Amino acid sequence: MTEQKLSDPPPPGLGPREPTAPVAPVAPVAPRPGAVVALRPLGVHEARLDPGGLLGRWQRRNAEDTIPHCVDNLHAHGNIANLRAAAGESGDAFAGMWFADSDVHKTLEGAAWELASSPGDASLRSFVDDTTTLLARAQGPDGYLNSYFTVAAPDERWRRPEWSHELYCAGHLVQAAVAAARTGVSPDLAAVARRFADLLVERFGPGGAEEVCGHPEIETALAELYRLTGHRPYLDLARRFLDLRGRGLLGPGRFGPAYYQDHVPVREAAEVTGHAVRQLYLLAGMVDVGVETGDHTLLDAAERLWEDAVHRRTYVTGAHGSRHRDEAYGDPYELPPDRAYAETCAAIASFQWNWRLLLATGRARYADEMERALYNAVAVAVSLDGRRFFYSNPLQSRTGHTGSGEEAQARRLPWYSCACCPPNIARLMASLHGYLATAAGDGLQIHLYAAGSVTAEVAGSAVRVDVRTEYPWQGRIELTVTSEADTPWTLALRVPDWCDAYAVRIGGGPVTAPARDGYVRLTRVWAPGTTVVLDLEMPVRRVTAHPRVDAVRGCVALARGPLVYCLEQADLPPGTVLEDVRLDPAVPVEAGRREDLPDFPVVLTAGGRLAEPGASLYADAPARERHSAPLTLTAVPYFLWGNRSEGPMRVWIPVAATG
């Protein structure tokens, strides 16, 4: 097959390509100049995580363990062999899910972001180079690239949009290519992706097939490819897919058109529906297209749906999706903890959607939601060794739970038959430092607190901020500001919505700095080496749910800072049944360290009681539940549960009746 370059002409009928745009910021999301955004992202080269901090350790673990683990499993489970068969280099039968290519693409994206930070990783570079050339060999003469439909079902190509995931896989290929191009890791992957994208424009563009994909993802990918290249047909096609959705083109399917978000036009939707990951990827694409085209109706719809999702259908951990049957959102306030599906990919998609809304609006609530999802719903999916994963993330695992294999909820697994989550984690963690901060015309904004550093151009001058902190274990954030600017600029520091009290010091002296719209804004001419200390108070919070969340009525969740905590069987006396534990409201909950739990830097100690249930399944309502003698309870961070042993766990704790 003749190799095609980025400068080659597009397929017939598309017209000349626009010149490639100036290189966009080296960032996962990079709105073009002129896009309707309040904030500009920094590139991954402009931020650094200290490997001694929590986020830095996660990123190092991702590089040393999770990404290599993903690469090994792509080989072991046939994903790479599928591409060799598609290239005509073997006669092997197709293995795995029909969308198995997407796991290759997500791992490639993670590898590209990691190589931007660790360019000397020869093994990872070999994986990127070898896989890129393999993809080029597997690509058809017309640009089509999907190993399942090439090897196993060539007659089904483009015939089952509600099921095929063809555009979904194409979207992840495009996102991998954008990452590889922006980091300079592999411009050849962009050539492969553009050949496929040009085919999509030819087939689905104006005058072409009126179809949408059953699994949204292509919309945000095409918007990002436009941002990379400046080629307007990619953005126009993303918008066309959004305009076509909601006309019932996908048919009813097994779960109805709302499962695909194809029941109502996206600009008219009043509530989030259907498969949670699909809904969230669609929303991310709506924001991307909205800011690039100036279409405020898309942005308004995305913010309206955020209100519905976050205020009526999101778990206290930031997880989305309450139904196993269709991996979907439930009714308003339908949030059962033990039956939570809460897919890892949905948490990652929520993080990505909220980042786009933050860039578009500058509103702190989106950074708050990113933080909640990251420290709880995303972090819980990865084991301490970085090589075992949760697919779904319940908020309770019952005593006697009988799930086995991939249905087990009390232990992480090394891989899954549908392995979408591990490589999704890999790509997010590899690019995590790109989400710490932004710049705007008047200054620098810090959204996620982590030990490390941020550099940017502010007010025409170079600025550097070094951060020292033990966040999220402690609320003290120490910043050292170095600036060459001789004019004032603003350093904005987010005050999380969970924080009711804080203090600010500059150069050792206290300052009055009221938070406005979720940020403390400090404006001055910054002398080199100026120190700023933000102290966020982190009391233990007893969180209650809206009274319409029937499943947890009479319960509380314990939280401190951004972290949600849980009870684990491992911390209960032998023979104790977790479901019989009650929280004693009269005993204060205290935060501290336990030397015997080194992997749990801060645990909570609370008072508890054991209920004494009767033998009957049902009985006349007693006047008051009977309890045993007092019990000391230890609550651990939810994201760390399941690393010591298998066993029951719960986030929502029933409260013992008093009086």
Bridging pattern class, strands 443-446 and 489-494: parallel
Active site residue 420: yes
Q: Note whether 506 and 520 are within 8 A (CB).
A: no
What single string gives the DSSP state of each residue in 192-248? HHHHHHHHHHHHHSTTS-----SS--HHHHHHHHHHHH--HHHHHHHHHHHHHTTS-
Q: Among 46, 162, 202, 327, which one carries the catalytic annotation?
A: 327
Containing H/E element for 597?
Answer: none
Can you read off the two tokens belonging to residue 180? 């590889």
Please, what's the b/e burial string for 83-96 (b: 16 or more CB within 10 A of its CB; e: otherwise)?
bbbbbeeeeeebbb
Backbone angles phi, psi at 102, to 5 degrees: -60, -30
Under DSSP, the state recorded for 96 is: S
The single-letter code of the amino acid at 585 is P
- Tokens 């319409």 sit on residue: 548
Q: Which residues, 6 or more positions from 648, have their beta carbon under 8 angstroms from its beta carbon?
A: 396, 397, 398, 399, 401, 410, 568, 569, 578, 579
What beta strand segments (E) does 387-497 contain?
A: 396-397, 437-440, 443-446, 452-458, 461-469, 476-483, 489-494
Q: Among 70, 345, 420, 566, which one carries the catalytic annotation?
A: 420
> How far is residue 338 from each of residues 117, 319, 350, measured CA to CA in Å?
39, 13, 21
Q: Which residues, 6 or more positions from 389, have their beta carbon under 8 angstroms from its beta carbon?
A: 344, 381, 382, 383, 412, 413, 414, 415, 416, 421, 422, 425
Active-site residue numbers? 327, 420
